Structure formats: structure tokens, C-alpha cells
Structure 1
Amino acid sequence: MPTLLNDWCVFCKGRTYFDKSHFLALFKVHSSLPEITKALSYFPQADSLVSRVNEVIQAGTLDDKLYLCPTIESSDFELMQKAKRWLQAQESFCKSLGDDELYKICQRAKLFYGNKDQFDDFDKLDVPSNWVLELVGDKVRDCRLLKTEQEYALFEALYGVAADYYLAWYMGQPLIKLDFDFRSYFEFWRLGGVGYFNEDKFLVFRK
């Protein structure tokens, strides 16, 4: 019986074409280490890619959920330490690109731990966190090594694991020539961390 992994293999070999969205669920349907290894064998730095994808898969669970959710428990102190490192990574990146507005927002932001309900009083679509995301995303697109249909489809599949661009870029970083600390985001995510900027705070809560 044909499987998504079969489709992926013939697509990577150039024998047929699929829209990249066809593979959105690739690593959710085929999440065992042998399947991950097979799927990534068509790319340079395959061993590093396999290690990162498997690391993320092992840090979460689907359990009747649409997307992977982290399962590792931690103290509030440990979560905030990871949030601080993630904030510093964003600050450093904005500074390196000369984006003074975003750099200053990151620099002055104070860590604030709360709960999800406290985020309902502002528009999450228009917050500095999304401005940083757009900035990083633009650079990632510019710095991807292959720029092939297969690479674009791979990043779509990586995004499909948890509907999370930063996590996808962490998994796919061996194919991105960009100096950005995506691991700091993974370490924050794996503890269940979610964070948003407002004018002067980096607001942190758990998924």
C-alpha cells in the first residue's frame, strides 16, 4: 500500500512531483528512527538532520493531538532560565543585523511569568515577537543551502511536526547557513515554554 514516505522517496528522487503541502504530516506519520533516517537520506548533513528531528520527536507526544506537544516537566525557575537564554538569542540576532528598534525592544524586555489568560488582552498578531519571527524567517529563506523543491518540502514537513517555525528551523539548521541560536528555542520549547513580547516585557507561560 502506498504511504506518505513512499511518496516522499519518489519525490526526492525526482520521479514525480507533489505540492510541498502534501508532506506536512510526514514526520508525524513516519516518526520512527528508521523512517526518519530514510526520509532524510536524500540531503547533505543527513546524520545531523536525523539527530535533530529525532531529538524533537522524542521530546514530545502527539497523543490524539494535531501537533507534537512537549512532555518534559521542569520547575518555573528552570523554564525562566531557558526563556532568558532564548530572549538573549533574539537580542543578539537583531543587534547583529543592525535592527535597532527590535534590538532595543529585546534589550529592555523584562522576563515575566504568567498564565495564558494574561495574553488575551492584546493582539498577538501585532507584537514584537512576530516582527522578530518575520526578520529571522526572511534570513532563513535567504540562507538555505539548496533552494530546491525537495528542500522547500522538507521545511514544510518540519513545520508540520508542531506548527512551529522556530522548531522547524532548529531541526533543519544543518541546511541553513545562518548564525542564529535555534537550540536556545528548542530548549525553551521542550519545557513547554511559550513567550511573547509586549512593550517592555517578555511574557512567558506554559503550553
Structure 2
Amino acid sequence: MTYVFNSEAGFKDEFLAGLTAAYGRYLRKVPSASGVMSVSAPVRGRASVLIGGGSGHYPAFAGLVGPGLCDGAVVGDVFTSPSAEHVYRCVKALDGGAGVLLSFGNYSGDVMHFGTAVERARREGVDARIVLVTDDVASAPGDRRQSRRGLPDPVLARRHHRALPEHPRHRTRLPNRTEHTNRPHWARGPRRARPRHGADHIRLRG
């Protein structure tokens, strides 16, 4: 079998080092954390968007950071949630005074670690908030939509997340607006979503 990494133990760190070396004009390493952030972040007075999850879901999550996308991403080991400590450090690094929105898939490890980091940041005065991505219809029935995991929606939802903080009138409504973006993208596994009449209407194709 052919491998494209040197060792499992150093995979995450080598990936982040290579990514920032190749795309240093767009992003940089978060100091003392397993994450990357846009070279322009944080912007004073504008809310930042932090995404994250385990490594191995490329281009998510670090590949969705940069101009027109998210402000930062925190990553864990392969298919493993990043620790609460590293999430917290990324939140602190991205806070420009207007708060940080954290968005991630609805998985138990991510929910626990991101939630712990948010509680800690809030105690220190950071306006940190969470929006879960819950678009996978195969993982829970319609009456338990909030229990669904996140699969294809992140690219569309996170592009919307990143655009909203640019407009001051949307800052206080950012969590509600991003949750609204998440709802129409419910999709199933291999099916692909095609926009119809804008991003708020999605038709599922078999």
C-alpha cells in the first residue's frame, strides 16, 4: 500500500506546516495551537468565523480558510476532534473584539470540546457562539433534525458564515442567519444539491 504521509504521529503537524508553507500569502499557523488562520485575521470590530474538526476530510477544514472563506480552522488528529484547549487558543487568537462564531459538524467529540472552549472563552469576556451543521438526513429522522450530523452543507454554509460578518448590521444576527443557511441544505450521502432560485432553495438530485 502507498502512503502519502511520513508517520501517523506527525501527520497533523506536518500537514499544517506544509499548508502554511504553500499558501503563506493566505494563511498562517495559529500560535501554540493545531490550527490555521487568515493572514488578515482578526479584523478589529468584525466577528470572526472559526470552523474545525478532525483531519482527513480535505479540503475541510483548514482548506476552507482564506479570502472570502473562513477566518480560521482548528484541526484534530485523523478523524479525531480537536481538543478543547486548542479550540480555545484559536478562539482567543481570532477574537477582534466583536466575537467569534464557531461552526462544526454535529459529532459528540466536537460538541463537547468546542462547547467547553466556548464556555471558557465566555468567562473571559469573549462573545463566542456556536452554530452546528446538521444537514445529513440519513443520520436522523425529520422530527429529530437537530440530532443530524453535518456532511455536504459546510462549504455552502461556511461561505455564508464568512460573508455576513463583513456587514455591521448582521453582526448581532450572525448565529440566526447562519442557522437559516444550514436548514435548506439537508441532503443525503451521495446525492448532490443544486441551487435553484439562489442559495436558499436546494433541489436534491438522485
TM-score (norm 2): 0.28
Instruction: Return the index of the structure with the highest Cα Rg.
Output: 1
Q: Which has the higher strand share?
A: 2
More contact order relative to length (CA 8 Å, sep ≥ 6): 1
| Bigger share in helix | 1
Q: Normalising to structure 1: TM-score of the pair?
A: 0.28
